[in-house]
Structure formats: structure tokens, C-alpha cells
Amino acid sequence: MLSHRYKSYVLLLLLSLICASFNLTKPVHIDDTTYLLIARKILEDPLHPMSGELNLASNTASPISSINQPFLFFYLQALVMLFFGQSELAQHLLMALITSIAIGFFYRLARLLVPKHALFLTALFVLGPVFIPGQNLMTDVPVVTLWLIFFWAIFSVSEGGPTVKYWIGSAAIGAACLVKYTSLVLLPIFLLVIVLRRQWRALWALTVPVVALVGWSFFNYFDYGHVHILNRSLESFGITMIILKAGEWFVGVGAIAPFSVIFLSRENIRRPLWIAAVCLFAGEAMFLVSYGYYKSFYLAAWWAFFLVNGIFTISLVNISFMRGRKGNDKIKVERSLILFLWLAGSFTFIVLFAPFMAIRHIMLAVPAILLLLGYNFEQSIERRVGTFGLILTATLGIFLASSDYYCTCG
């Protein structure tokens, strides 16, 4: 008989293989081509990656420096090209490795916070409709991997682990900021954790991401005469556009969170009529807006349904957060706060700075949603309802991954 520990390893390996099976032979698409072209430019001139131009469509060249993302992950892709040539399989194997690391660290994080349901929450995250289709060759899975490493590190310290894990967390922030600028939101979270714990010596760990960003900025100036993070193109959003993007974020959450049914119980919902009223009103409003824009009853109905589920899911998250703040358990209060800031930080950055809303942008928030729900609703997860929710989530995730694969093949 295998021990529980080895059964967990076998299941984690199985999840990794399932993810790889949908990605290893998947054709490049969306921004994949752009990123691979940048990696080729890095091989040609590694000291001046942003000085060149890309010709992506209509024979119109655009400067590489106009890309919104920093280049750390592209350098890693270039390194793979250096050893394996232009092999797409090699690039997908790199992503499979990163995916496996993400799965492992989500499980380790879940085991710290919700040990009873660690494997269950890991399966919900991995098999859900955002992680498997979101692998591709883009920066979304690499950056969520680095975020998971960071939060695992700081939560491990609260468990009495060695303070050297602060340096692991700071290294993860530094790398994450050089993969996607969204990771800048981790800096104030890290600072707040240190202040709350009064572990002032750990402030030195902040030098790692600061040095990484300053070094990257000097490198940019040497490369093409500008600081990339300051020269990044930002959309000009008014209050109306911000509200619309926030609404799209809630719709996106509702579309990828069929697992919300798992936490649908009277014990979890203290004010069911109030939540239902808000959800129904928002759903009706979204239906009218969507129908007026698309002139399609089918699309409007789905948008309304997803918004209702998104508001319901985030309402549960807020209830879970408030539940975690009650009582005299300082560790539970702190952990609930950190998870909530994880969710709030990713939401704020995407709504304010992302040029558009995409499901893959919500990937950073999904671990926080699942872990916060599991952390404070652990006792109310029923076996049969949990099994149904997992099957529903995995079915949608696998169907979307298959659709994404075959659509790109076509």
C-alpha cells in the first residue's frame, strides 16, 4: 500500500501529465509568435534586444520596445533555442516544466493552509478552465508560478520556517517583475507582511527586486536609450472604462468558477437574500447592456449568467475573508489578509493597467480565490458536492483546452 504522501506525488504527476498532453504538440498562436520572434532577436544580439523591429502584420514594422512585457522569460526561451534550435516541442517542454513547478507549489501552499483539502484544491486549480488552456508559450503560467513560490515562501515563514525564505520570496518577486510588470503589486504586499510581523531585518530582502528593476532599467537605457517600465504604453481610461473593465473581470471570474457550487451552503452564506438580490440585479443589468451591444439573446444570457456567478463567487470570498478576521487567531487573521491582498492586488492592476481583459489575465487571481475559500470554509466542503464541483470544473477546463488546441490546429 502506498502512503498518503506517495499517493499525493502520483496524483500531482498525473495532473502534470494531463497538462502536458494538451500543450506539447499545440501549435503556437496569439502572442506566442511574437515572443518567439523576440527570442530569436535576443539570440542575434543579446545586448540590444529592444533596439530592433518586428514585422507582425501588413508589412508594418513596430519597435520591439513597444512590447508591454519585460524580457526575462524571452531570454529563457532564447536559451532553449540556443541548445535546441527552432524546435517548438522544446519550447513546449520548457512550459511543461514550468507548469509542473506551478502545480507543485500550489499544492505545497494549499498543504500549508488547507491540508485536509490540498489535493482537491490543486485539482480544481489545475483542471479548471483557465490554467490548462492558458499554458501556450506566453508569460501567464511562468508569472503565476513565481507568484506561487513567493506566497509559499512568506506563508512558510509564518509556520516557523527559517527567515531565509524571505530571500526566496524576494528572488521570486524580482524574477516575476522581470517576466510581467503586474508583479509590482507584490512589493507592497511583501513590505506589509514584514511590518505586520515586525521582522525588520527581513527588509533587506527587498533589495533583491529593487536591484533587479534598477538593473533592468539601466540595461534598457544602454539598449535603446529609454527605461522600458517608464516608456511602457498605457491606455487612457476614464471612470466609465474602468467600471466596464471591472465588470468584465467579474464576468471572467464567473466564467471560470463553476467550483462556486461547492461552497453554496447556508452555513457559508450568512445573508443569502442580500447576495441573491445583488446578483440578480447585476445579471439583469448585464443582460440589457450585452443585448443592446451584441443584439444576441444567446450571448447576453451567458454574459448575465457569468456575471451573476462572478459576483456570487467574490461575495463568498469576502465572507470568507471577514470570517478569517474574526477571533483571536493572529495567524489566521494574517493569512486571510494576505490572501485577500493577493486577490485585490491582481484585480486592481489588471483593471487599471491592462490594455484589455482576457481570461488568462484572471489566472493570477484564481489561486487566491480557491485558497481563501478553502481556508475559511474548509469544514463546509461536503464530499458529494465537492466531487460534483470538481467534475464540473474539470469537464469545462478539458473541453476548453481541447477546443483551444483544435482551433489553433485549424
- 27-84 pLDDT, tens per residue? 887 778 888 889 999 998 899 888 887 776 656 677 888 888 899 999 999 999 999 9
Burial level of 313, CB count in 10 A (0-12/13-18/19+)? Answer: buried
Rounded-to-integer distance, Cα 272 and Cα 278, Å: 10
Determine the length of the chain. 410
CA distances from 261 to 90, 110, 273, 382 (A): 39, 20, 17, 11
The three grid cell numbers given for residue 168, joined into one nine-digit string = 526566496
- Grid cell 474602468 in the structure block, residue: 242
Rounded-to-integer distance, Cα 217 and Cα 329, Å: 42
pLDDT digits (tens, 9 = 90+) for 216-259: 999 999 888 888 888 776 555 677 778 788 888 888 898 888 88
Question: Helix axis angle, 140-158 relative to 366-376, nearest 10°?
Answer: 30
**Dihedral (CA of 56, 62, 68, 71) sign:** positive
126: closest CA among 372, 393, 404, 400?
393
**Mean pLDDT estimate for the chain:** 83
Longest dimension (CA), the chain: 64
The three grid cell numbers given for residue 121, joined into one nine-digit string = 484544491
Does residue 190 or residue 300 have the better pLDDT? 190
Helices (H), 45-178: 72-84, 88-113, 118-127, 140-158, 164-177
Out of 247-261, 284-298, 340-354, least confident range: 284-298
CB 338 within 8 A of CB 193: yes
265: closest CA among 110, 370, 377?
377
Out of 11-15, 297-301, 338-342, least confident range: 297-301
Rounded-to-integer distance, Cα 308 and Cα 198, Å: 41
407 pLDDT band, cuts 50/70/90, is low
CA distances from 288 to 17, 105, 285 (A): 43, 42, 5
The residues with which 53 forms a beta bridge, in sequence order, are: 63
3-state secondary structure of 327: coil
pLDDT digits (tens, 9 = 90+) for 135-144: 888 889 999 9
